[in-house]
Structures are given as C-alpha cells and as structure tokens.
Structure 1
Amino acid sequence: MDLEAVRTFAAVAEAGQFQKAAADLSITQQAVSKRIAALERDLGVRLFNRTPRGAEPTIDGRAFLPHARELLRVAERAVASVRAGSRPLRVDVLSSRGAASGLLREFHRAHPAIELDVLTLLEIDAAVAAIRSGAIDASFRAVAMPGRTLPEDVACARVADEPLQLLTGPGHALADAASVTVAHLVGHRIWIPGLLPGSEWAAYYDDLVAAFGLTIEATGPNFGSDALLDTVADTPALATFMGGLTRLVWPAGHGLRLIPVTDPTPVYPHALLWHRDNAHPALAALRTHLAATSPAPDAPGTWRPDWVIPH
C-alpha cells in the first residue's frame, strides 16, 4: 500500500476538499485525484462521494480512516526510530567495573542529555560483527591482536592506556613495597583466572610473559572480582594485576595492597571501534570527548605489545 496515497486520503478526509488537501500537501489537485483513485483501486472500494461542498468519506472511507491515521502514525514512529540522534547510542564494554565503563561514565557526566544503551559482548569477533551489522554503534577493545586485522569499514582509535598495578594481600613478600619494577616480579606467582584462549587480554598477557619472563597462572574458574580479592588477600604466595582505571568495591579488613609497577609500566591499551559510515551524532560527540580528555598513548616508561595499534 502506497503510504503517500494513504497520507493524501487522510488529508482529503480532514480538509473536506480535494483542492484544499492539494494545497496542504503542496501538490496539484490532479495529483490528489490520481492518488485517491489508485488507493481506491488497491482497496476495491470507493472512498469519497463528491458533493457541492467538496468530498465526504463514504461508509468504507469512514471505516478506513482510523486505520489510515494509525498507519501514518506507525510510519512516523518507524522513521523517528532511526532518525539521527533520536535513538540511544549503543556501546559495548567488556566489564561494568572496567576502564571502558569509567570512560563512558565520564562521557555521560559531560553529556547527560545523550541517551546511552550499554551492553557487553565478550569476543572481539562478535563486537566487530555487531558494529558492521549496525546492532551496536561502538565498542571498547584492545586491538589489534596478532594475526588479526580489522575490516576496512571498521575504524578504531586508541583512547586510553591503563597502567597495570600489582595487587597483593598483607602477607605477600612485596606487600610493603612503595613500588616494584617488572624485574622484581620475576619468580612471583601472578594469578589471573579466567583468561580465555584467543581473547585480547590473553594475547596481551602472553606477550607480557614473553617480554619479561613473568609467571602468570590462569588456573581455576573465574568467580568474579570479589572472589579474586578474597583469594589474594588470604594467600600470601599469590598476587594479581589490577588496572589502574578499574573500579572495585574494596572489602573491609582484607588489608589489600595496590602497588605501582615501574621500569617499565605495563599498560593495557583501550581503543574505540566504530563503523566508518555511522552518522549517529552522539558517536561523533563520544569520539570528540575521548580525544579531548584522554592522555596521549605510549607515554615514556610504558610497555605494550607490538601488535597494538600505534595511535
């Protein structure tokens, strides 16, 4: 069914005249007549009776009128749902407590009028596919992984280098250190449960181990950050890495220590991915905000894998 013909029918019914409806729609009276005739052919009924005063809906026309108006309302809602800026910006973050979530919260504080729809996709392939299909507008990732390149229609930019810090319990040998070098960590057990083979963070830690000879254990199930903090606090032989931009609720009485790592400081590189053709105005606002508020990547004295995008 031709929506323009339906719109013309509703305009004639409201105006009571073909001529006035033509003026309201900024088309000719002949065009109005042709649209009404075509709609009547499609429906197989007569919609108007000509009268000295203009045009009156027939019984069938009066029956069709409320449905025609609803069709037009549905069409307007459909257009509005994809009109630039009219829908929330959909952004993927890996964790609600991670650095990317914090970056997004800062953006929301700076632009409270922009609606956000935040979701989590664990695998980078799923995130890239969602960007390309239009299911999401942007994703925070650490790209690119070894042997993987992004499709040409997906753009990315480094937005934050998150320094890793050593997290220990009060009984750990390094618990009282003001800072530790990477070399001092050799021989210590660093526990990071839940490292998924093939994931971005697993590739990152593989390179960290290879570069500095560290011992990282990924044994055991990942029961979340609360269980991780409990275990580290109670096990003097274990430590873990915690991102400096990660926000956690620290349990009282655990005596946990958060120690800066230096010479060099390993940083986890966060990047924003988006589709090059995505014209959502809030996406442009997010990119501008991140570019203006994020320090330049690759600061002196930091380390990141060679496969990370340079800027």
Structure 2
Amino acid sequence: MDLEAVRTFVAVAEAGQFQKAAADLSITQQAVSKRIAALERTLGVRLFTRAPRGAELTIDGQAFLPHASELLRVSERAVASVLPGRRPLRVDVIASRVAPSGLMRGFHRAHPEIELDVMMLFDVEAAVAAIRSGAIDASFRAVAMPGRPLPEDIESVRVLDEPLQLLTGPAHALADARSVTLAQLVGHRIWMPGIVPGTEWAAYYEDLVAEFGLTIEATGPNFGSDALLDTVADTPALATFMSEQTRLVWPAGHGLRRIPVTDPTPVYPHSLLWHRDNPHPALATLRAHLAASAAGHDAAGTWRPDWVIPH
C-alpha cells in the first residue's frame, strides 16, 4: 500500500476538501485526486463522495480512517527508530554483573538524557557481526584474540584494565592472606567452570596459565555464579579468579575472601568496539565519557596477554 496515498487520504478526511488538502501537502489538487483514485483501486471501495461543501467520507472511508491514521503513526515510529539520535544507543555488555555493565551504569548516571538498550551477547564473533549489521552500536570485548583480528571497519579502544582477585572460602590455605603473588598460586586448584573454549576469556586464561604455571580447571557443568560461590565456600581445596569489579552477593555464612593478586597483577583488558561509519551521536558521547574515566593502561606491575591491542 502506498503510504503517500494513505497520507493524502487522511489529509483530505481532515480538511474536508481536496483543494485544502493539496495546499496542506504542498502538491496540486490533480495529484491529490490521482492518489485517492489509486488508493480506492487498491482497496476496491469508494472512500469519498463529492458534496456541496467538499468531500465527505463514505461508510468505507469512515471505517478505513482510524486504521490509516495508525498506519501513518507506525510508519513515523519505524523511521524514528533508526534515525541517529532518535533511537536508543544499543550496547553489548556481555553480562549483567561484570565491569562493562558497571561502566554503562556510570555512563547512564552521567547522561540520563541518553536512551540506552543494553544487550548481552556471548561471543566476540556474534558481537562483531551485530556491530557490522547495525543491530548494536558498540560492544565491550578483550581484543584481539590470536588468529582473530578485527575487521578493518571495526574500531576499538582500551577503556579499562581490570585487576583479577582470588576468591577463596574461609578454610582455604590462602584465606587469611592480605594479598597473594602469582608464584604463591602455583600448585593451588583454581576452579572456573564458566570458561568456554574459543572465547576471548578462554584465550586470556590459557595465556595466564602458560605464563605462570597455574592450574585452572574448567571441569563440570556451569550452574552460574551462585553455585560457584557455594562450592568455593564449602571446598577448602578450591579457589577461583574473580574480576575486581564483578558484583556478587553471597550469604554471610559463606565467609568468602576476595584477595588481591600481585607480582604481577593480572588485568583483564576491556575495549570498546564500534563500526567506524556509525553516525549515532551518543556513541561519541560514550567514547568521550569512557576516555575521561579511564586509567592508564599497561601500568607497572601488571600483566596482560601479548595479543591484546595496546591502545
């Protein structure tokens, strides 16, 4: 159905005259007549009858008018949904409890006037594909994994180097330490069932193990963070790594400890990815916000994999 013909029909119905509708639409009266005639042919009914005072709706025209008005409203909403600055900024934060989610909460507090759609995509390939298709505007990822360079049309910038911490139960051998070195962790079992082969975090921990001789186990089903915390709290032989800004709550009786890791401190490098031709004005605002709040990267006494994009 021709939306311009529908728009012309509504204009004539509101004006009550073909001539006035033509003036309102800035077209000729002949163009109005042609559009209405074409719409009537499409619908197979008469929409107007000529009257001394102009044009009056037929019974079919009266029935069609509310639907035509709604059709125009839907069309306007559809156009607005993709206009830069008119639709929400769509950002992938991977998961709700991790640092990127916290970064976006900070951005929302600083810029409450910007509408946001927060997405949670699992792997980097899905995120990059969504950025390239326009399904999302940006994603937080650790880039670039070995053998998986970013496409040329995808831009990235490091926004946060997040320290890892050791999480233990109260009976673990290191539970009372104020900090632990990576050397002290050699020989201890670090259980991380959420590591999925092929992901950027799997590549990160593989390099950490290779560099420092750690033992990370990813065995068993992943029942989520609550089950992980329950098991670590009850099992003196197990610990796990937890990023510093990961937000977790556990029962007071668990007695869990979050212990800083040093010499060096492993940091997880979060980068923001976006398409270089993305025109959404809020994307530039997000990048400026993250740049203003970002600390220095590759600080002395820290470690990150060699494949991480340095800037």
Question: CA offset at residue 207 of structure 1?
Answer: 0.4
Q: Which runs of 5+ in 2 are unaligned?
A: none
Match of 1:297 in 2: 297
Question: CA offset at residue 43 of structure 1?
Answer: 4.2
Q: Counterparts of 1:93-242 in structure 2 under 5 Å? A: 93-242=93-242
For 2:57 and 2:254, how far apart are their aligned partners in 1? 79
Q: Which runs of 5+ in 1 are unaligned?
A: none
Deviating above 6 A after TM superposition, structure 1's stretches of 4 or more consecutive aligned residues are none
CA contact (8 A) 1:194 1:220 kept: no
Match of 1:253 in 2: 253
Number of residue equivalences: 311
Question: CA offset at residue 246 of structure 1?
Answer: 0.9
Match of 1:211, SS state, is helix
**1:122 alignment partner AA:** F
Question: CA offset at residue 303 of structure 1?
Answer: 0.8
For 2:184 and 2:28, how far apart are their aligned partners in 1? 84
Cα deviations by residue, 1:253-285 (Å, 9 ceiling, x for unpaired): 333222221221110111122233333333333
Match of 1:308, SS state, is coil
Match of 1:287 in 2: 287
CA RMSD in angstroms comes to 2.3
**1:255 alignment partner AA:** G
Does 140-149 or 22-31 show the bigger shift? 22-31
- Change in Cα spacing, 1:226 to 1:39, as seen in structure 2 (3 Å) is closer
For 1:11 and 1:142, how far apart are their aligned partners in 2? 54
For 1:139 and 1:205, how far apart are their aligned partners in 2? 21
Q: Is the counterpart of residue 70 in structure 1 residue 70 in structure 2? A: yes
For 1:46 and 1:171, how far apart are their aligned partners in 2? 84
For 2:71 and 2:257, how far apart are their aligned partners in 1? 63
CA contact (8 A) 1:208 1:305 kept: yes
Does 38-47 or 232-241 show the bigger shift? 38-47
TM-score, normalising length: structure 1 = 0.89
Match of 2:28 in 1: 28
- Change in Cα spacing, 1:182 to 1:11, as seen in structure 2 (3 Å) is same
Match of 1:83 in 2: 83
CA contact (8 A) 1:144 1:150 kept: yes
Give me the identity figure in percent.
Answer: 83
For 2:70 and 2:95, how far apart are their aligned partners in 1? 42
For 2:233 and 2:66, how far apart are their aligned partners in 1? 68
**2:299 alignment partner AA:** A
